[in-house]
Amino acid sequence: MTNLIKKRGLIIAIIVTLFTLLILLNVYFSNSVTVKISQLNVRSGPGVNYSLKGTVKRGTHLQVTAKKNNWLKVVANHKQTGWVASWLVDKTTIGHHSKLAETTIVLDPGHGGDDTGALSNTQKYEKKYTLQIAKRVAQQLRSQGARVILTRSTDKTTSLVSRPALAEKVHADAFISFHLDSSDVANSASGVTSYYYHDGASKRLATNINNQLRSLPLPNRGVQFGDFLVIRNNTVPAVLLETGYINSNSNFKRIKSIKYQNQIAQDVVTGLNNYF
């Protein structure tokens, strides 16, 4: 009888121990991620602007202890602690690994839906081309690993105030609004302008991007101060790009071409890279 009780006690003890072990293992692995890209930066805080503490290689297991602004606080190799960009942990490859990979960029295709924007001489609306251009920029930025969020990805009405609000919400490192200019008289103006509202980071960002946009086949009208809501009411570095006059026949020929749109995308990516 006593032997039976002892045996029973032993079995219960073993079962309890096994369950505890299972739960512990589950907790351990559910909060664990593995680095799949060749090298991942570890920073002192949740953002690209925090100092670099080191790097971890492909195959390293990271224990996740906290999350903030889409960054993960991790323990690597049971000793090294720091922060990594969560979206890079999910990636298996990155085309060209730059600091840009650790950034969150909000792209804002101007207008949309009921708000058509300016009209070309061939009755085509600005809203269509701002979306095409922003999507090409998004594609190139994503290929470099960046986390890209668009204020709209379809032809839908999007309020002005919601655009900078989104940039703040996702803790973006930069906000870029895409527009096309229009002059009072058709075919009377031509060129590309980069606008900023806030001095400092925004102006620096506008300058870096505009330096690259000089490679475009349209005249460059420079970096200018512009009082636009989406860059004025913005808490992150913000610029507004006018990449040609939609009611200029020569400009519009470029605006609607894939080649020109891809050139803008490449210039914006290089400009952002230089800025960071």
Beta carbon nearer to Zn ion, 136 or 179: 179
Note whether 226 binds Zn ion by CB under 5 A. Answer: no
- Give the residue from 82, 127, 90 showing the smallest Cα distance to 109: 127
Applying CB under 5 A, among 43, 179, 198, 203 the residue interacting with Zn ion is: 179
- Distance of alpha carbon 136 from alpha carbon 215, whole angstroms: 17
Q: Which two tokens stand for residue 204?
A: 């620096």
Beta carbon nearer to Zn ion, 147 or 163: 163
Binding mask 132-171 for Zn ion (x = CB under 5 A): ----------------------------------------
Applying CB under 5 A, among 47, 82, 110, 145 the residue interacting with Zn ion is: 110
Beta carbon nearer to Zn ion, 119 or 201: 119
Instruction: Please give the residue whose beta carbon sits closest to Zn ion in the complex.
Output: 179
Element (H, E) at 83: strand 80-85
To which residue do tokens 């986390």 refer? 147
Nearest approach in angstroms of CB 142 to Zn ion is 24
Beta carbon nearer to Zn ion, 110 or 244: 110
Nearest approach in angstroms of CB 111 to Zn ion is 6
Nearest approach in angstroms of CB 95 to Zn ion is 31
Q: What is the DSSP letter of 264?
A: H
Beta carbon nearer to Zn ion, 46 or 117: 117
Beta carbon nearer to Zn ion, 72 or 107: 107
- Give the residue from 103, 109, 222 showing the smallest Cα distance to 174: 103
Applying CB under 5 A, among 117, 145, 164, 237 the residue interacting with Zn ion is: 117
Please enumerate, as own/partner, the contacts of 45-52 that have beta carbons within 8 Å and a separation of 24 or more: 45/83, 46/70, 46/71, 46/73, 46/83, 47/71, 47/83, 47/171, 47/173, 48/85, 48/99, 48/102, 48/103, 48/173, 48/276, 49/173, 50/83
Phi, psi of 216 (to 5 degrees): -70, 155
Binding residues for Zn ion (CB under 5 A): 110, 117, 179
